[in-house]
Amino acid sequence: MCEYKIQNYENAERGNWSRKRDYILSMIGYAVGLGNIWRFPYLAYKNGGGAFLIPYFTMLVVAGIPLFFLESAFGQFCSQGPINVWRAVPLLQGETILNSDVKALMCWGFKSFCHCGLKMRTNTIMMYLNKTRLGHVVVKAPSLSPLCVSPMEVVYFTATFPYLVILILLIRGVTLEGAKDGIEFYIGTQSNLTKLTEAQVWKDAATQTFYSLSIGWGGLMTLASYNNFHNNVFKDSFVVTLTNAGTSVLAGFAIFSILGHMAHVYKMPVGEVVKEGFGLAFIAYPGALSKLPISPLWSILFFFMLLTVGLDSQFAGIEVLTTCLLDAFPKTFKTKRALLTITTGSILYLLGLPCVTRAGIYWVTLIDQFVASWVLLFLVLLEIIGVSYIYGGNRFIKDIEMMLGNKSSMFWLWWRACWFFISPCIILVILGWSMATFVPPTYEKVEYPDWGLALGWCMVTFVLIWIPVIAVYQLIKVKGNPWKRLKSLCSPSEDWHPYLDLHRGQRYSQERCHRKKNHKNLLEVDINVVSSSWL
């Protein structure tokens, strides 16, 4: 178990990151995952090679970075996880359960994704990863606790090791015969720029941006909630997002150089080497790696890299679930954090067992198609509407200035444009396009039975239904006429403020006085409100 090191934390009750690099590496480890290694190169191949980089970086600038900054600042301001952060808009507290459901399902699906793919290759690796996952449950217990320093060495390794392997594969890949053809397909003359006229390319670019940055899953808020109040979250957002994008591009060079060699060996065009998204990581790569000198070494390094990037994402994924429970029931779970984490990991492990059966890849595909598509887009859209329009974009900017200091109106011009208009409009278009073009999922031309599709829709319903259920429950619980009930639930609760008194300043002190002054006029409402959400 972990030995806790006593330090002078700003927030001694809840804890902070021991060092700035702990936070940065954890965020990079959380954001950089399987999507950077296999999904980005596959989408680049599917959508015109290097032409895909244009919509990808466009979406990164107009949606990815602004939403990453929004989530990180939201969590850091109140030093709370996804449950208590929606004290800002009590009406949307159902999104907390939605967020946790999505995270739990994605933990379930993507943990097992590695198992399913490796099972296609060898039962020996399958047994190894089963043992490793049990080890992950044990290691995870103290790994992200901000009061625990030593286990952060695990994160140091899992966050940096993938870059070493990618660099090795890149150096080896570009020296192989035929590698030039792969790189030409990736960024050279073989790029198909006509693909930019297709809406599907832009949809794939936007969804890849959200998935690779882990926006909307609650992990960004959770990890940022352990920062010091005056931490420069603005600079951190650029560091993490640009590192994430750079990782995708770097992985693309490594992968396409190897695919170029594979195409040379098999005497086929590069565009015909990769045919399946899942197959890119677990079928095409092993075939390519088997052609390398000392192939067992490269295969071990590659699959171990996949394991480490998956572990990093799951560290934060489980931390989201445990932080939600800790914030909701601090008296019950505060002294039982390790037990809570082990229990959460064990439950997810059991849920993942169906995905490691012979039909496991079909379960993973079902979860990926129904939960990880427009459901996640809906969650992100609801989040940005809640912050920008209900809580108040200008109020949120003032909250950020309490942490970073006052900024000029020109500084906020771009962020206002993104949060109020550009980002929500892009998400709405993508969401509408996804729903209009939705087709039942298949895997290797195998169509799902009706009961399988019904199960997928049940997962979607189970995830989304909590938003209206919690909203209706909140409306019933408060008193007053319908308008006052709605107004009270669309205004911050009395408990919404920076965690420590010394950070609340005159602004929030004035708001508390304002609430008390008007409390007598709002006795029929159980939740005290702020008169305007646009302070």
Residues 508, 493 contacting (CB under 8 angstroms): no
What is the spatial distance between Cα 203 and Cα 377, in angstroms, rounded to a whole number?
11
Q: Is 145 annotated as a binding residue?
A: no
Compute φ and ψ for 446, nearest 5 degrees: -90, 120
Q: Is 123 annotated as a binding residue?
A: no
Q: What are phi and psi of 116, to 5 degrees?
A: -65, -45
* 267 contact partners, CB below 8 Å, separation of at least 6: none
For residue 169, which amino acid is it?
L
CA nearest 22: which of 132, 145, 108?
145
Q: Return d(Cα 292, Cα 287) in angstroms, integer.
A: 10
Is 199 annotated for ligand binding?
Answer: no
443 sits in which H/E element: strand 442-443
Count CB-CB contacts under 10 A for residue 534. Answer: 11
Cα(418)–Cα(345) distance, rounded to whole angstroms? 37
Please say whether the beta carbons of 263 and 51 come within 8 A.
no
DSSP β-ladder status, 442-443 and 446-447: antiparallel
CA 121 to chain centre: 28
Tell me the residue length of the chain: 535
C-alpha to C-alpha distance for 397 and 388, rounded to whole angstroms: 10
* 76, 83, 94 from 86: Cα distances, Å: 13, 6, 9
Residues in a beta bridge with 447: 442
Q: Give the separation between CA 272 and CA 263, rounded to whole angstroms.
A: 8
Q: Is 11 annotated as a binding residue?
A: no
Check residue 9 and give left, alpha or beta (phi > 0: left; psi -120 to 50: alpha).
Answer: beta
Number of CB atoms found within 10 A of residue 526's CB: 14
406 annotated as a binding-site residue: no
> Tokens 């998204």 appear where?
277
Q: What's the one-letter identity of residue 143?
A: S
Which positions ≥6 away from 203 have C-beta within 8 Å?
430, 433, 434
Give yes or no for a contact between 216 and 379, defined as CB atoms under 8 angstroms apart.
yes
312 is in an annotated binding site: yes
Which residues carry a binding-site annotation?
29, 31-32, 36, 212, 244, 312-313
Which residues carry a binding-site annotation for Na(+)?
29, 31-32, 36, 212, 244, 312-313
